[in-house]
Structure 1
Protein backbone atom coordinates (compact mmCIF):
# COMPACT_ATOMS: atom_id res chain seq x y z
CA UNK A 1 0.00 0.00 0.00
CA UNK A 2 1.42 3.40 -0.97
CA UNK A 3 1.82 6.16 1.58
CA UNK A 4 -0.83 8.89 1.44
CA UNK A 5 0.06 12.13 -0.28
CA UNK A 6 1.29 14.57 2.41
CA UNK A 7 -0.82 17.46 1.11
CA UNK A 8 -3.94 15.29 1.08
CA UNK A 9 -3.23 14.24 4.67
CA UNK A 10 -2.76 17.82 5.87
CA UNK A 11 -5.90 18.97 4.07
CA UNK A 12 -7.91 16.14 5.62
CA UNK A 13 -6.80 17.11 9.13
CA UNK A 14 -7.69 20.75 8.49
CA UNK A 15 -11.12 19.78 7.15
CA UNK A 16 -11.81 17.58 10.18
CA UNK A 17 -10.81 20.38 12.55
CA UNK A 18 -13.06 22.90 10.76
CA UNK A 19 -16.02 20.52 10.84
CA UNK A 20 -15.57 19.87 14.56
CA UNK A 21 -15.64 23.58 15.41
CA UNK A 22 -18.83 24.23 13.42
CA UNK A 23 -20.48 21.10 14.84
CA UNK A 24 -20.16 22.57 18.35
CA UNK A 25 -22.86 25.13 17.43
CA UNK A 26 -25.48 22.52 16.55
CA UNK A 27 -28.60 22.41 18.67
CA UNK A 28 -27.91 25.66 20.51
CA UNK A 29 -29.98 28.85 20.52
CA UNK A 30 -28.74 32.31 19.63
CA UNK A 31 -27.92 33.20 23.22
CA UNK A 32 -25.82 30.13 23.91
CA UNK A 33 -23.72 30.37 20.75
CA UNK A 34 -22.89 34.03 21.48
CA UNK A 35 -22.62 34.39 25.25
CA UNK A 36 -19.24 34.64 26.99
CA UNK A 37 -18.36 31.34 28.62
CA UNK A 38 -15.01 32.24 30.19
CA UNK A 39 -13.70 35.32 32.02
CA UNK A 40 -11.94 36.39 28.78
CA UNK A 41 -15.15 36.22 26.74
CA UNK A 42 -14.65 33.00 24.79
CA UNK A 43 -17.84 32.20 22.89
CA UNK A 44 -18.71 29.56 20.33
CA UNK A 45 -19.83 31.66 17.37
CA UNK A 46 -16.96 34.07 17.91
CA UNK A 47 -14.50 31.19 17.55
CA UNK A 48 -15.99 30.33 14.16
CA UNK A 49 -15.81 33.97 13.04
CA UNK A 50 -12.21 34.27 14.20
CA UNK A 51 -11.15 31.12 12.39
CA UNK A 52 -12.88 32.21 9.18
CA UNK A 53 -11.13 35.57 9.13
CA UNK A 54 -7.72 34.23 10.14
CA UNK A 55 -7.78 31.32 7.68
CA UNK A 56 -8.85 33.61 4.85
CA UNK A 57 -5.64 35.55 5.38
CA UNK A 58 -3.23 32.69 5.87
CA UNK A 59 -4.51 30.63 2.93
CA UNK A 60 -5.46 33.64 0.84
CA UNK A 61 -3.50 36.87 0.99
CA UNK A 62 -0.31 35.18 2.21
CA UNK A 63 -0.13 33.39 -1.16
CA UNK A 64 -1.38 36.32 -3.28
CA UNK A 65 -4.81 34.70 -3.52
CA UNK A 66 -6.93 37.19 -1.54
CA UNK A 67 -10.42 36.22 -0.40
CA UNK A 68 -12.45 39.27 -1.41
CA UNK A 69 -14.91 39.20 1.50
CA UNK A 70 -12.25 39.61 4.18
CA UNK A 71 -9.55 41.70 2.51
CA UNK A 72 -8.78 44.58 4.89
CA UNK A 73 -11.09 43.17 7.57
CA UNK A 74 -8.91 44.10 10.53
CA UNK A 75 -8.38 47.63 9.23
CA UNK A 76 -12.15 48.02 8.86
CA UNK A 77 -12.75 46.63 12.38
CA UNK A 78 -10.01 48.15 14.56
CA UNK A 79 -11.71 47.41 17.88
CA UNK A 80 -9.57 44.89 19.82
CA UNK A 81 -10.87 41.32 19.45
CA UNK A 82 -13.58 42.38 16.99
CA UNK A 83 -13.10 39.02 15.24
CA UNK A 84 -13.82 37.05 18.42
CA UNK A 85 -17.50 37.90 18.93
CA UNK A 86 -20.64 38.34 16.87
CA UNK A 87 -22.95 41.35 17.35
CA UNK A 88 -26.66 40.67 17.82
CA UNK A 89 -27.48 41.93 14.33
CA UNK A 90 -25.10 39.54 12.59
CA UNK A 91 -26.76 36.24 11.70
CA UNK A 92 -25.25 32.93 12.74
CA UNK A 93 -25.90 31.61 9.22
CA UNK A 94 -23.80 34.45 7.79
CA UNK A 95 -20.84 33.58 10.03
CA UNK A 96 -21.05 29.84 9.33
CA UNK A 97 -21.56 30.57 5.63
CA UNK A 98 -18.48 32.80 5.60
CA UNK A 99 -16.42 30.01 7.15
CA UNK A 100 -17.67 27.57 4.50
CA UNK A 101 -16.73 29.97 1.69
CA UNK A 102 -13.33 30.60 3.26
CA UNK A 103 -12.76 26.84 3.46
CA UNK A 104 -13.65 26.47 -0.22
CA UNK A 105 -11.26 29.28 -1.14
CA UNK A 106 -8.51 27.80 1.06
CA UNK A 107 -8.99 24.36 -0.44
CA UNK A 108 -8.61 25.88 -3.91
CA UNK A 109 -5.34 27.47 -2.78
CA UNK A 110 -4.15 24.14 -1.41
CA UNK A 111 -5.09 22.36 -4.64
CA UNK A 112 -3.40 25.00 -6.81
CA UNK A 113 -0.05 25.15 -5.03
CA UNK A 114 2.73 22.75 -4.18
CA UNK A 115 3.65 22.29 -0.53
CA UNK A 116 6.91 24.15 -1.10
CA UNK A 117 5.17 27.16 -2.70
CA UNK A 118 6.25 30.34 -0.94
CA UNK A 119 4.14 33.09 0.54
CA UNK A 120 4.64 35.95 2.94
CA UNK A 121 2.95 36.66 6.28
CA UNK A 122 3.16 40.45 6.58
CA UNK A 123 2.53 40.61 10.34
CA UNK A 124 5.24 38.07 11.22
CA UNK A 125 8.83 39.19 11.97
CA UNK A 126 10.91 39.61 8.80
CA UNK A 127 13.12 36.63 9.57
CA UNK A 128 10.04 34.36 9.65
CA UNK A 129 7.72 36.15 7.24
CA UNK A 130 8.57 34.04 4.19
CA UNK A 131 6.68 30.77 4.53
CA UNK A 132 5.69 27.69 2.55
CA UNK A 133 2.25 26.25 2.01
CA UNK A 134 3.35 23.25 4.08
CA UNK A 135 4.23 25.49 7.02
CA UNK A 136 0.95 27.42 6.80
CA UNK A 137 -1.11 24.24 6.60
CA UNK A 138 0.53 23.00 9.79
CA UNK A 139 -0.05 26.43 11.35
CA UNK A 140 -3.74 26.44 10.41
CA UNK A 141 -4.27 22.87 11.64
CA UNK A 142 -2.72 23.87 14.98
CA UNK A 143 -4.74 27.11 15.12
CA UNK A 144 -8.02 25.40 14.27
CA UNK A 145 -7.49 22.56 16.72
CA UNK A 146 -6.45 24.98 19.47
CA UNK A 147 -9.73 26.83 19.08
CA UNK A 148 -11.52 23.53 18.61
CA UNK A 149 -10.36 22.67 22.13
CA UNK A 150 -11.76 25.97 23.35
CA UNK A 151 -15.05 25.10 21.62
CA UNK A 152 -15.07 21.65 23.28
CA UNK A 153 -14.86 23.17 26.74
CA UNK A 154 -17.24 26.03 25.92
CA UNK A 155 -19.91 23.64 24.64
CA UNK A 156 -19.54 21.41 27.68
CA UNK A 157 -20.09 24.47 29.89
CA UNK A 158 -23.32 25.29 28.03
CA UNK A 159 -25.11 21.94 28.16
CA UNK A 160 -22.64 19.18 29.00
CA UNK A 161 -22.36 18.01 25.37
CA UNK A 162 -18.96 16.57 24.55
CA UNK A 163 -17.31 14.86 21.63
CA UNK A 164 -14.44 14.75 19.21
CA UNK A 165 -16.81 14.13 16.28
CA UNK A 166 -20.50 13.37 15.83
CA UNK A 167 -19.71 9.66 15.86
CA UNK A 168 -17.04 9.68 18.59
CA UNK A 169 -17.19 11.37 21.99
CA UNK A 170 -13.57 10.30 22.59
CA UNK A 171 -14.31 9.68 26.26
CA UNK A 172 -13.63 6.40 27.94
CA UNK A 173 -16.49 7.01 30.38
CA UNK A 174 -19.59 6.76 28.23
CA UNK A 175 -22.36 6.69 30.85
CA UNK A 176 -23.34 9.88 32.65
CA UNK A 177 -23.21 8.10 36.01
CA UNK A 178 -19.65 6.97 35.34
CA UNK A 179 -18.62 10.52 34.42
CA UNK A 180 -20.21 11.92 37.58
CA UNK A 181 -18.38 9.35 39.68
CA UNK A 182 -15.13 10.18 37.92
CA UNK A 183 -15.57 13.91 38.52
CA UNK A 184 -16.38 13.31 42.20
CA UNK A 185 -13.23 11.19 42.54
CA UNK A 186 -11.13 13.96 40.98
CA UNK A 187 -12.61 16.50 43.39
CA UNK A 188 -11.84 14.28 46.41
CA UNK A 189 -8.28 13.78 45.20
CA UNK A 190 -7.75 17.51 44.64
CA UNK A 191 -9.06 18.30 48.12
CA UNK A 192 -6.72 15.73 49.68
CA UNK A 193 -3.76 17.19 47.77
CA UNK A 194 -4.68 20.68 48.99
CA UNK A 195 -4.92 19.52 52.59
CA UNK A 196 -1.84 17.30 52.45
CA UNK A 197 0.42 18.49 49.61
CA UNK A 198 2.56 15.67 48.24
CA UNK A 199 6.32 16.01 48.60
CA UNK A 200 8.56 15.55 45.59
Structure 2
Protein backbone atom coordinates (compact mmCIF):
# COMPACT_ATOMS: atom_id res chain seq x y z
CA UNK A 1 0.00 0.00 0.00
CA UNK A 2 1.17 3.51 -0.69
CA UNK A 3 1.30 6.35 1.82
CA UNK A 4 -1.93 7.94 0.59
CA UNK A 5 -3.82 4.66 1.10
CA UNK A 6 -2.43 4.37 4.62
CA UNK A 7 -3.42 7.96 5.35
CA UNK A 8 -6.97 7.35 4.06
CA UNK A 9 -7.31 4.15 6.10
CA UNK A 10 -5.97 5.87 9.20
CA UNK A 11 -8.40 8.77 8.77
CA UNK A 12 -11.32 6.37 8.28
CA UNK A 13 -10.52 4.32 11.38
CA UNK A 14 -9.85 7.45 13.42
CA UNK A 15 -13.27 8.71 12.34
CA UNK A 16 -14.89 5.50 13.56
CA UNK A 17 -13.15 5.84 16.93
CA UNK A 18 -14.40 9.42 17.29
CA UNK A 19 -17.97 8.35 16.51
CA UNK A 20 -17.93 5.49 19.02
CA UNK A 21 -16.52 7.81 21.71
CA UNK A 22 -19.36 10.22 21.03
CA UNK A 23 -21.93 7.40 21.14
CA UNK A 24 -20.64 6.27 24.53
CA UNK A 25 -20.51 9.72 26.08
CA UNK A 26 -23.97 10.55 24.70
CA UNK A 27 -25.51 7.78 26.81
CA UNK A 28 -25.08 10.04 29.88
CA UNK A 29 -27.20 12.82 28.37
CA UNK A 30 -30.32 13.72 30.30
CA UNK A 31 -29.67 11.42 33.25
CA UNK A 32 -29.17 12.28 36.91
CA UNK A 33 -26.27 11.35 39.16
CA UNK A 34 -27.86 8.17 40.45
CA UNK A 35 -28.86 6.90 37.02
CA UNK A 36 -25.39 7.30 35.50
CA UNK A 37 -23.71 5.61 38.50
CA UNK A 38 -26.09 2.84 39.54
CA UNK A 39 -25.06 -0.77 38.92
CA UNK A 40 -27.39 -2.39 36.42
CA UNK A 41 -25.86 -5.85 36.07
CA UNK A 42 -24.79 -8.50 38.54
CA UNK A 43 -21.16 -7.45 37.99
CA UNK A 44 -21.89 -3.78 38.74
CA UNK A 45 -21.71 -2.37 35.20
CA UNK A 46 -22.83 1.26 35.07
CA UNK A 47 -22.78 4.09 32.53
CA UNK A 48 -20.34 6.48 34.17
CA UNK A 49 -17.99 3.59 34.92
CA UNK A 50 -17.94 2.63 31.24
CA UNK A 51 -16.95 6.19 30.29
CA UNK A 52 -14.26 6.23 32.99
CA UNK A 53 -12.92 2.83 31.89
CA UNK A 54 -12.74 3.65 28.17
CA UNK A 55 -11.05 7.00 28.85
CA UNK A 56 -8.53 5.31 31.16
CA UNK A 57 -7.74 2.50 28.74
CA UNK A 58 -7.38 4.89 25.81
CA UNK A 59 -4.85 6.97 27.77
CA UNK A 60 -2.77 3.85 28.29
CA UNK A 61 -2.92 2.61 24.72
CA UNK A 62 -2.21 5.93 23.03
CA UNK A 63 0.02 7.31 25.79
CA UNK A 64 2.14 4.73 27.57
CA UNK A 65 2.32 2.32 24.64
CA UNK A 66 3.92 4.99 22.42
CA UNK A 67 6.03 6.62 25.13
CA UNK A 68 3.95 9.76 25.24
CA UNK A 69 3.09 11.76 28.36
CA UNK A 70 -0.15 10.87 30.03
CA UNK A 71 -2.01 11.63 33.23
CA UNK A 72 -1.44 9.19 36.08
CA UNK A 73 -4.74 7.73 37.26
CA UNK A 74 -5.07 6.69 40.92
CA UNK A 75 -7.54 3.92 40.15
CA UNK A 76 -4.92 2.20 37.96
CA UNK A 77 -2.07 2.56 40.46
CA UNK A 78 -0.52 -0.39 42.26
CA UNK A 79 -2.72 -1.33 45.22
CA UNK A 80 -5.89 0.27 43.84
CA UNK A 81 -9.05 -1.81 44.31
CA UNK A 82 -9.94 -4.23 41.54
CA UNK A 83 -12.12 -2.68 38.85
CA UNK A 84 -11.73 0.83 40.33
CA UNK A 85 -11.78 2.13 36.75
CA UNK A 86 -15.25 0.64 36.19
CA UNK A 87 -17.25 2.80 38.60
CA UNK A 88 -17.23 6.29 40.09
CA UNK A 89 -16.71 6.85 43.80
CA UNK A 90 -19.09 9.32 45.45
CA UNK A 91 -16.37 11.98 45.59
CA UNK A 92 -15.50 11.61 41.89
CA UNK A 93 -17.58 14.14 40.00
CA UNK A 94 -19.33 13.31 36.80
CA UNK A 95 -17.76 16.46 35.31
CA UNK A 96 -14.25 15.21 36.15
CA UNK A 97 -14.89 11.89 34.43
CA UNK A 98 -16.33 13.59 31.34
CA UNK A 99 -13.29 15.92 31.35
CA UNK A 100 -11.03 12.84 31.56
CA UNK A 101 -12.85 11.40 28.55
CA UNK A 102 -12.19 14.61 26.57
CA UNK A 103 -8.55 14.75 27.73
CA UNK A 104 -8.02 11.12 26.77
CA UNK A 105 -9.52 11.73 23.34
CA UNK A 106 -7.29 14.77 22.77
CA UNK A 107 -4.14 12.88 23.73
CA UNK A 108 -5.14 9.93 21.57
CA UNK A 109 -6.02 12.12 18.60
CA UNK A 110 -2.63 13.86 18.85
CA UNK A 111 -0.83 10.49 18.96
CA UNK A 112 -2.74 9.22 15.93
CA UNK A 113 -2.20 12.40 13.92
CA UNK A 114 1.46 12.91 14.83
CA UNK A 115 2.80 9.36 14.71
CA UNK A 116 1.03 7.73 11.79
CA UNK A 117 -0.03 4.24 10.77
CA UNK A 118 3.27 2.36 11.12
CA UNK A 119 4.50 3.92 14.38
CA UNK A 120 5.92 1.30 16.73
CA UNK A 121 4.95 0.85 20.35
CA UNK A 122 4.98 -1.70 23.14
CA UNK A 123 2.08 -2.83 25.32
CA UNK A 124 3.74 -3.78 28.63
CA UNK A 125 0.63 -5.50 30.03
CA UNK A 126 0.28 -7.88 27.04
CA UNK A 127 2.12 -11.24 26.83
CA UNK A 128 5.76 -10.79 25.71
CA UNK A 129 5.22 -12.37 22.30
CA UNK A 130 2.47 -9.83 21.48
CA UNK A 131 3.84 -6.65 23.07
CA UNK A 132 5.40 -5.12 19.95
CA UNK A 133 2.62 -3.29 18.11
CA UNK A 134 1.93 -0.65 15.50
CA UNK A 135 -0.40 2.30 15.77
CA UNK A 136 -2.64 0.52 13.25
CA UNK A 137 -3.06 -2.40 15.68
CA UNK A 138 -3.78 -0.15 18.63
CA UNK A 139 -6.25 1.98 16.70
CA UNK A 140 -8.07 -1.18 15.61
CA UNK A 141 -8.00 -2.48 19.19
CA UNK A 142 -9.44 0.77 20.58
CA UNK A 143 -12.16 0.96 17.91
CA UNK A 144 -13.29 -2.50 18.97
CA UNK A 145 -12.91 -1.79 22.71
CA UNK A 146 -14.86 1.45 22.49
CA UNK A 147 -17.62 -0.05 20.32
CA UNK A 148 -17.94 -2.98 22.71
CA UNK A 149 -18.48 -0.69 25.69
CA UNK A 150 -20.75 1.63 23.72
CA UNK A 151 -22.90 -1.45 23.08
CA UNK A 152 -22.96 -2.17 26.80
CA UNK A 153 -24.02 1.44 27.36
CA UNK A 154 -26.84 1.05 24.81
CA UNK A 155 -28.33 -1.77 26.86
CA UNK A 156 -27.84 0.01 30.19
CA UNK A 157 -29.53 3.17 28.91
CA UNK A 158 -32.48 1.13 27.64
CA UNK A 159 -32.79 -0.46 31.08
CA UNK A 160 -32.78 2.97 32.74
CA UNK A 161 -35.33 4.86 30.66
CA UNK A 162 -36.14 2.87 27.54
CA UNK A 163 -34.00 5.05 25.24
CA UNK A 164 -32.61 3.13 22.28
CA UNK A 165 -30.39 4.03 19.35
CA UNK A 166 -27.53 6.45 19.01
CA UNK A 167 -29.81 9.51 19.21
CA UNK A 168 -33.56 10.23 19.31
CA UNK A 169 -33.86 10.39 15.49
CA UNK A 170 -31.66 7.34 14.80
CA UNK A 171 -32.73 6.04 11.35
CA UNK A 172 -31.66 2.49 12.27
CA UNK A 173 -34.37 2.18 14.92
CA UNK A 174 -37.95 1.48 13.77
CA UNK A 175 -40.48 4.02 14.99
CA UNK A 176 -43.06 2.10 17.03
CA UNK A 177 -45.97 3.07 19.21
CA UNK A 178 -46.14 1.58 22.71
CA UNK A 179 -48.61 -1.06 21.49
CA UNK A 180 -46.51 -1.88 18.41
CA UNK A 181 -43.44 -2.30 20.63
CA UNK A 182 -45.37 -4.56 23.00
CA UNK A 183 -46.52 -6.67 20.04
CA UNK A 184 -42.94 -6.91 18.76
CA UNK A 185 -41.64 -8.05 22.16
CA UNK A 186 -44.48 -10.59 22.38
CA UNK A 187 -43.49 -12.02 18.95
CA UNK A 188 -39.88 -12.38 20.08
CA UNK A 189 -40.99 -14.08 23.31
CA UNK A 190 -43.32 -16.42 21.42
CA UNK A 191 -40.54 -17.41 19.01
CA UNK A 192 -38.17 -18.08 21.90
CA UNK A 193 -40.70 -20.29 23.70
CA UNK A 194 -41.54 -22.17 20.47
CA UNK A 195 -37.85 -22.82 19.77
CA UNK A 196 -37.28 -24.04 23.32
CA UNK A 197 -40.24 -26.40 23.11
CA UNK A 198 -38.92 -28.22 20.03
Between stretches 160-169 and 10-19, larger displacement belongs to 160-169
Moved over 6 A (4+): none
| 1:54 partnered with 2:31 | no
Unaligned 5+ runs, structure 2: none
What aligned pairs does 1:176-187 form with structure 2 within 5 A after superposition? 176-187=178-189
Asked if 2 retains the 8 angstrom alpha-carbon contact of 1:120 and 1:131, the reply is: yes
**SS of equivalent to 2:124:** coil
Q: Take 2:15 and 2:167, find their aligned partners in 1: how far apart are those partners?
A: 14
Establish whether residue 26 from structure 1 lines up as the match of residue 25 from structure 2.
no
Which of 90, 93, 104 is equivalent to 1:91? 93
Contact 2:75-2:81 at 8 Å conserved across structures: no
Matches of residues 105-120 of structure 1 in structure 2 within 5 Å?
Answer: 105-120=107-122
Instruction: Output one character per residue of 1:126-178: Cα deviation in whole Å (capped at 9) or x when no partner.
Output: 11100000000000000000000000000000000011345415223544432
Distance 1:166 1:185, change over 3 A: closer
Q: State how 1:1-200 maps to structure 2 within 5 Å.
A: 5-70=8-73, 73-76=75-78, 78-165=80-167, 167-168=169-170, 170-194=172-196, 196-197=197-198
Structure 1 segments unaligned to the other structure (5+ residues)? none
- Alpha-carbon distance in 1 for matches of 2:35, 2:147: 21
Q: Contact (CA 8 Å) 1:57, 1:66: kept in 2 or not? A: no
Return closer, same or farther for 1:46/1:132 CA change in 2, 3 Å cut-off: same
Aligned residues: CA RMSD: 1.8
Kept in 2: contact 1:162–1:169 (CA 8 A): no
SS in 2 for 1:108: helix
Q: Is the 8 A contact 1:34 1:86 kept in 2?
A: yes
Measured in 2, the distance between the counterparts of 1:185 and 1:156 equals: 19
Output the TM-score relative to the length of structure 2: 0.91
